[in-house]
Chain A
Amino acid sequence: MEPALTVNKITKSYENGTRALRGLSFKVENGDFYALLGPNGAGKSTLIGIITSLVNKTRGEVKVFGYDTDLHPAESKSRLGLVPQEVNFSIFETPMQILINQAGYYGIPRSLANAKSEEYLHTLGLWEQRNTIGRNLSGGMKRRLLIARALVHHPQLLILDEPTAGVDIEIRRSMWSFLREINAAGTTIILTTHYLEEAEHLCRNIGIIDHGKLIHNTSMKSLLMKLGNETFILDLDQPLTALPSIDHYPLRQIDSTTLEVDVDRKRGLNPLFAALLAHSINVTSLRNKANRLEELFIKIVSENSDGMGSNP
């Protein structure tokens, strides 16, 4: 079966000389939930623009389910749905009109467009606002409308460019569960986000772009395995009288009932808990100091930037 997306040696140079993408190649398999990460200005949005025909590429080829976007634009576009980073619907139209229009641009007959629009307005909690003009929708509603619009023609590949930016945690989590559902139903999803927790929760595979190059393209699991150490915060049931010394587990006291510890992933947590118990220290809860992917992402990108600095 053809991959959902094939990006082959894509280069993008702007007229001002900026090289946004430098021969970037990767594939996203059918059914995948793929995270496309990178710092600001790495080239993520340019790449998404090229895939969705909103940006002209300089060189290279893009195929969506085997259809070249240059040679077979209708076939490739009909399989794609885009949730853009910024709100880009007419603020004078209602959600119902926006969805029906979008379905019409994909050649979907009016009766079916009505049914699909109603379905997605219900699913994304916008039914009550179906006749409210876009300008009067809240930020979260606008974001959900962008998702509904991208899905109304039932795309096989959905690209989400920072879909939850500026959305409160409740809506974000409901979006996550919705995206998981449509992925489980067979839609391939590519997600870019600055919330690395989001990428870690949702995505199975990950690509990291920096300075227009793909510097990592692997499974989420194997990427996280590269994280040698994790820092944990431990909450204690009683104030600590003296900080114990435990081999291989450097402890730091944050306050009287909170400890911080660096844990080598190979050693695990069990020896630490055993040693703490031996010192009559009871741990009531534990959490990661920072998101694991976030730590790794910062490390990878800073290493890459150092490399770029020495060899521009």
Chain B
Amino acid sequence: MSPMGLWIGFTTLLCKEIRRFTRIWLQTLLPPVITTTLYFLIFGNLIGPRIGEMEGYRYMDFIVPGLIIMAVITNSYANVSSSFFSARFQRFVEEMMVSPMPPWVMLIGYTCGGLARGMVVGVVVTVVSLFFSQLQIHNLGVVLSVVVLTSILFSLAGFSNGLFARNFDDISIIPIFVLTPLTYLGGVFYSIRLLPEFWQALSLANPILYMINAFRYGFLGISDISLPLSYAMTVGFILILFGVNLALLNRGYRMRS
């Protein structure tokens, strides 16, 4: 395929993905807004004043970056895992498999679909957060690069889930039993410096911790983890997941008999 043909294939898939999550906005865009609004109300407005400051910031201001990135993570992941598994389940993934569009374009198309939903949700949740906190930005470049890289990473992870899943249960198991606990334990609501040494060390094994802290650094200028290490971890995971997904796609794993 010519470069123009590849571009057309990519934009076709991306537009299809964007159309899909905007068509079902009640399931895709509204829930994160409601959930994070409740977080802001309960943890920020009701419990926050009793907690006081965290790392020198109002508790509400401390948790806002974590809540935004949490919404981005879960939505990027869910978009790709459910969309790609549906394509496999209803077998319309075959539309792409019989076409000359190479697997890497398919992978990038789905990933960018997850990125698009992650960004839309991220922007909406950020706007909602403005009603509850006076958002400051310490470094816009860090904010944008971390949110984009994190969204890409979890879109790729969602793709892996969609590829391995055998039924719809498999699509919900990973977010419930892996993603949500890791996000909650990744420092959204607290600084890991509050934890005993053993749990601090254990927290470092949680990849989401690096992204939440890097994102918080972009807003507040504080982080439990060094910024270069956070970037290295995120980019490293992206490369690994992209490579694994592409290798499986090329083999036709769970798609070709």
Interface residues in B47-101 by Cβ distance below 8 A to A read 86-87, 90-92, 94-101
Contact among A55, A82, A104, A109 for B256, CB-based, below 8 A:
A55
Contact partners of A100 in chain B: CB under 8 A: 12
Task: Please report the total number of B residues contacting A with Cβ < 8 Å.
Answer: 32
Q: A53-B256, A104-B12 are in contact. Are A84 and B100 (CB under 8 A)?
A: no
Interface residues in B1-44 by Cβ distance below 8 A to A read 1-2, 4-6, 8-9, 11-13, 16, 19-20, 23
B102 within 8 A of A: yes
Which range contains the number of A residues in contact with the other chain? 20 to 34
In the complex, what's the smallest C-beta–C-beta distance from B40 to chain A, in angstroms? Answer: 33
Is A86 a contact of B97 with CB atoms below 8 Å? no
Is B100 a contact of A77 with CB atoms below 8 Å? yes
Is A89 a contact of B95 with CB atoms below 8 Å? yes
In the complex, what's the smallest C-beta–C-beta distance from B151 to chain A, in angstroms? Answer: 24
Q: SS class of chain B's interface: helix, strand, loop or mixed?
A: helix
A259 within 8 A of B: no
Is A101 a contact of B16 with CB atoms below 8 Å? yes
Is A105 a contact of B256 with CB atoms below 8 Å? no
A239 within 8 A of B: no
In the complex, what's the smallest C-beta–C-beta distance from A67 to chain B, in angstroms? Answer: 11
B252 within 8 A of A: yes
Q: A56-B257, A77-B100, A101-B12 are in contact. Are A106 and B90 (CB under 8 A)?
A: no
Contact partners of B2 in chain A: CB under 8 A: 107
Cα distance A153–B8 in the bound complex, in angstroms? 13
Instruction: Kindly name the residue among A53, A55, A101, A110 whose own CB sees the greatest number of chain B CB atoms within 10 A.
Output: A101
Instruction: Using A53-B98, A105-B9 as known contacts, list a sample of 18 further A-B pairs with CB atoms less than 8 Å apart, ordered by residue number in A.
Output: A53-B97, A54-B94, A56-B256, A75-B100, A77-B98, A77-B100, A78-B100, A84-B94, A89-B90, A90-B92, A92-B20, A97-B19, A101-B13, A104-B8, A104-B11, A105-B101, A107-B5, A108-B8
In the A-B complex, the 8 residue pairs with the closest CB atoms: A107-B5, A104-B12, A105-B99, A74-B100, A88-B91, A77-B100, A78-B100, A105-B101
